[in-house]
Amino acid sequence: MDNHNNNKIKTTCPYCGVGCGLIAESKNRIYGDITHPANFGELCAKGSNLAASLNNNQRLPTAQVNQQPASLEHALDAIAEKISHCINEYGPESVAFYGSGQLLTEDYYVANKLMKGFIGSSNIDTNSRLCMASAVVAHQRAFGEDCVPGCYQDFDMADLVILVGSNAAWTHPIIYRRISEAKQKNPNMKLVVIDPRKTASCAYADLHLAINPDSDIALFNGLLRYLEQTDKTDKDYIEQHTEGFSKALEAASAKQAPLSELCGVPEQQLNTFFHWFSDTDKTVTAYCMGVNQSRCGSDKANAIINCHLATGRIGKPGASPFSLTGQPNAMGGREVGGLATQLAAHMGFETDSIDRVKRFWSAPNITTKPGLKAVDLFQAINAGKIKFLWVMATNPAVSMPELASVQSALEKIPHLVVSDKFPTETSHYADIILPAAGWGEKDGTVTNSERTISRQRSFLPLTDLIKPDWWAICQVAKRLGFSDAFNFESSADIFREHAALSAFENNDNNTSSQSKRIFNLAELSELSDDQYNELPPTQWPLKMDSISQFTSSRLFSDGQFATHNKKAQFIAIPSNTSRRLDKPQASSDVVNKPHATELMLILNTGRERDQWHTRSITGKIAKLNLHSWQPTAKLHPDDLASLGNPSHIEANNLQQTLIIKCQADVQQKLGEVFIPMHWGFTSSNQGQVNKLVTAEADPYSGQPSCKLTQITVKTA
Ligand code: SF4
């Protein structure tokens, strides 16, 4: 079967970074693609219920300007006029875009190009800042480029899989299924879960380390010391392929409290983990939001990578550190430079990169410095510095920390445009709304966690009232006077240019040490329309095998990295970088004891099994709502008992109050409370947990610490 044959359209799931392949026969018949290397036909509950997302009548029907239905032409004219006005009155830095890992690479590319090359600002950030930004920084620091070294096959081949800050059983179900199947085939394989909560991912775990929140650095620094002390490092690898080991070890060895006390885990469990890691060559350490969403997320990820470099376990079958991508196209967004801290195509703001991108785009207003990261962006709106914001395919009115401040920013910004398929809490504030093509209607590419580019193909018709995001962005660009640079007629046109930019002056002949990048899609820059339509799942970096199929697998197998001297870099991280909150202390008015009136707890936020983001799609699917139909706080039974076992709690922080249903959960640690992040003010008065979450962010990545906020809790 080719990719369009017999009305069977091959496409890709729009939910998570696993990037499962699907076959759509019609809007009512959609199932897993057995030929796709990400899932081989398997789907989780969300993917299995995609058809239901296409069968509802709640979508935005037409464009709106000032709450009135408007023609698309009128809305696009108004957007361009507002951008022009802001640039002329306040300068390009007053204009910002806020995008999403739900956008296709082609949407991302034109948005990034318009903002950074033509408007002349880097104020384009996305919800990937809340998702992967810390992993990006860790990759750049260690490898010289934002590259995930491993591939999904490594999960099949490993003898030890470690999940850190990842409830993959719920958030990356097909990967978790793959791990559990590998474990059944290989009885010697071990699974370790490192997470304060005992999540569903512990079902097949041989060991669960219920560490204290943010004690990951202490744990992996302790592992680094153990590897050195037990002579289990790979000295040849360290010598030939890395730099900075001594300093990293020195930082990891600074005097500190006993590790079991820092991590809150019995010494025997730590020893078991260290022993398994040191004795297992084929080890994959996969990490996700529990690592990234932290005030020290970049350092946590580098502490993990340090242990893999110290043992030479990178780029080898079954051995890799592995950042699990949250969203379907967070990776593709990073490839085009769709973050305020990147320029384009894995290039940053080095002088030669700016010059290269400027020449490639013939850009009249190339930006020369990073823009505002998500948290700073919304703070800048409140400070009156940003006058125009275009939000695409995301819902910051629910998902951002310090939500009251973000909602205030959305309320007060002079010009807010929202593009989405469905109304959201964010579109509630918009003065212009563009109805966007949704999954099944839009056409382009996404890149999953293992660097595989897959096509999302359209199989549903679009009316003249609804258009893809790339089209709307190009129409605005043309109205701003940039017709030549945005004269794209299809997503294939955009993809070819994107691939060409990735290859532009990307070779050994350039003098700059930064000019040679691993991310290079040269072979895809001249695809015909038909070849683009038929593009099979294609992993980068691209290699041609004997039967002319693109193949690839692991990065850094040859021990050559993308740094200036080709050596991977250890990052020295003192164990106290974690700044772990101490356990709640008793005070005169906040006491953790039997029959307390108020508890001080550590708030951890995250996802439910069958929900996605802010429920803008999954919340409309009855079957998916069965699993968790209302937001519920989960507390340790003893904490709940000390409050008198109420049905609802009142949680307070940042002068904000959340009243929410609660239940006892033995999987919770004492002193900690888990509240899901999906619900916003239109779906539940009890949602909006991000009202309580502080906006403190990692100093390098700007990723907010959504997993650790101290709050007070009492009976509602
Ligand atoms: Fe979709 Fe992710 Fe589920 Fe695969 S695992 S079907 S990509 S939500």
Domain 70-129+338-506+519-551 has CATH 3.20.20.140: no
Q: Is domain 149-324+565-576 annotated with CATH 3.40.228.10?
A: yes
- Ligand 1 contacts CB of residue 613 (under 6 A): no
Report the nearest atom of ligand 1 relative to the CA of 38: 4
Give residue 511 CA to ligand 1 midpoint distance, Å. Answer: 42
Q: Is the dihedral of CA 333, 338, 340, 345 positive or negative?
A: positive
Ligand 1 center–CA 542 separation, angstroms: 24
Question: Both tokens of residue 272?
Answer: 């078991």
Q: What is the CATH number of domain 598-715?
A: 2.40.40.20
Three-state secondary structure string covering 572-616: CCCHHHHCCCCCCCCCCCCCCCCCCCEEEEEEEEECCCCCCCCCC
User: Is the distance from the beta carbon of residue 53 to the nearest atom of ligand 1 less than 6 Å?
Assistant: no
168 lines ligand 1 (CB under 6 A): no
- The CA 432 to ligand 1 mean position distance, Å, reads 32
Instruction: Provide block-wise average pLDDT over 10 residues at a time, the chain (716 residues).
Output: 70 96 95 97 96 88 96 98 98 98 97 98 96 96 97 97 97 97 97 97 98 96 98 98 98 92 97 98 97 97 98 97 93 94 97 97 98 98 98 96 97 98 96 97 97 97 94 98 98 98 86 75 96 95 69 88 96 76 43 73 93 85 86 96 95 95 95 92 79 96 95 95
Dihedral in degrees, nearest 10, Cα atoms 628, 632, 634, 638: -130
Pocket test for ligand 1, best of 18, 36, 175, 607 (most atoms within 8 A of CB): 18
The verdict on the CB of residue 32 being under 6 Å from ligand 1 is no
Rounded to the nearest 10°, the torsion over CA 540, 544, 545, 547 is 120
Whole-number pLDDT of residue 587: 38
In whole angstroms, what is the distance from residue 42 CA to residue 411 CA?
43
For residue 541, cis peptide bond before it (omega within 30 degrees of 0) = yes
**Do 112 and 124 form a contact (C-beta atoms < 8 A)?**
yes
Task: Determine the pLDDT at residue 401.
Answer: 96
Determine the Cα–Cα distance for residues 401 and 445; give it in Å rounded to an integer.
30
DSSP string, 449-478: TTSEEEEE---S---TT-B-HHHHHHHHHH
CA distance 492 to 105: 11
- Indicate if ligand 1 lies below 6 Å from the C-beta of 617: no
Residue with tokens 């003065």: 431
b/e for 19-42, b at 16 or more Cβ within 10 A? bbbbbbeeeeebbbbeebbbbeeb
Write the ipTM: 1.00
Is the shortest distance between the CB of 291 and ligand 1 below 6 Å? no
pLDDT for 6: 58
Q: Which atom of ligand 1 is nearest to the CA of 174?
A: 5
Predicted confidence at residue 584, as pLDDT, reads: 44
Strands (E), 75-169: 95-99, 124-126, 160-164
Give pLDDT, residue 576. 74
Task: Measure 452 CA to ligand 1 centroid, in angstroms.
Answer: 14
SS3 23: strand
Select from 534, 461, 490 the least CA-distant residue to 107.
490
| Ligand 1 mutation target, pool 11, 20, 155, 170, most atoms within 8 A of CB | 20
pLDDT at 585: 42
Q: Where are the alpha helices (DSSP H) in 350-447?
A: 351-361, 374-382, 396-399, 403-412
5-54: in CATH 2.60.40.10: no
Rounded to the nearest whole angstrom, what is the distance from the C-alpha of residue 293 to the centroid of ligand 1? 21
User: Which DSSP helix (H) or strand (E) runs through 289?
Assistant: helix 289-292
Substitution site in 172, 611, 623 for ligand 1 pocket (most atoms within 8 Å of beta carbon)? 172
pTM of the model: 0.95
- Domains of the chain, by residue range, sit at 5-54, 70-129+338-506+519-551, 149-324+565-576, 598-715
Please, is 354 exposed, middle or buried when counting C-beta atoms within 10 Å of its C-beta (0-12, 13-18, 19+)?
A: buried
- Give the separation between CA 235 and CA 248, rounded to whole angstroms: 14
Index of the ligand 1 atom closest to the CA of residue 16? 2
Using DSSP, state whether 134 is helix, strand or coil: helix
Residues 6+ away with beta carbon under 8 Å from 473: 107, 110, 111, 114, 486
